[in-house]
Amino acid sequence: MKKLLLTGFEAFAEHSTNPTKDLVNSFSNSVVNNYQIKSFVLPVEYESAKDRINELIELEIPDAIILLGLAADRSEITPELIAINYCHSRLPDNAGVIKLFEKINLKSKESFISTLPIEKIIQSLNENKIDAKLSTTAGTYVCNTVMYTALHKSSQMSLDIPCGFIHIPNGIDQDQLINALTICINSL
């Protein structure tokens, strides 16, 4: 059976909860589309999240990676196209760290493009009456750091696998989120 590494995040900033935490936990050790799901909740901390995603990829050697994060200002589910080698946010992470004008990895390339079947995911979600659209960048906060790091690590390990990040909005109930994520996994 194939293995899917699935991650979400803990609560951060003014958000007392993060729907990705409950979502990934609800998939823990389940099987979807012939993937055994390995679920983990990451800290919203630049360095700890980066270290943890590297460790999980090395440990699990997954056949696919879906990284989830909260985009509270959005109203659609948005698979991310590009992760950039850049951190820049005045919002501190949960360790109190603020990163401005910093590279994620000084020895790596400027960007990585998602290897998830983004067009298929968006089309499948929309066909099932779940609003979804493309987002061209994962931003410059911890979500982008995790996406960039996962794609970099996958490349380093020569893992030719679907790997990418999907932001979810606030305000979608848990059952609909479970349905949406199931559709995403079935699109792999």
Q: Which pair of tokens denotes residue 150?
A: 């996962």
Q: Is 184 a catalytic residue?
A: no
SS3 percent helix, strand, coil of the chain, rounded to 5, is 30, 30, 40
Contacts of 31 (CB under 8 A, 6+ apart): 1, 37
Q: Which amino acid appears at position 94 of this protein?
A: N
Mapping DSSP to helix (H, G, I), strand (E, B) and coil, where does residue 59 land? helix
Catalytic one among 80, 87, 152, 163? Answer: 80
Catalytic one among 87, 143, 163, 184? Answer: 143
Q: Is 80 a catalytic residue?
A: yes
Contacts of 53 (CB under 8 A, 6+ apart): 7, 42, 67, 146, 149, 150, 153
Length of the chain: 188
For helices 46-60 and 142-156, give the axis angle rounded to 10 degrees.
Answer: 30
Mapping DSSP to helix (H, G, I), strand (E, B) and coil, where does residue 159 land? coil
Q: Is 163 a catalytic residue?
A: no
Residues annotated as part of the active site:
80, 143, 167
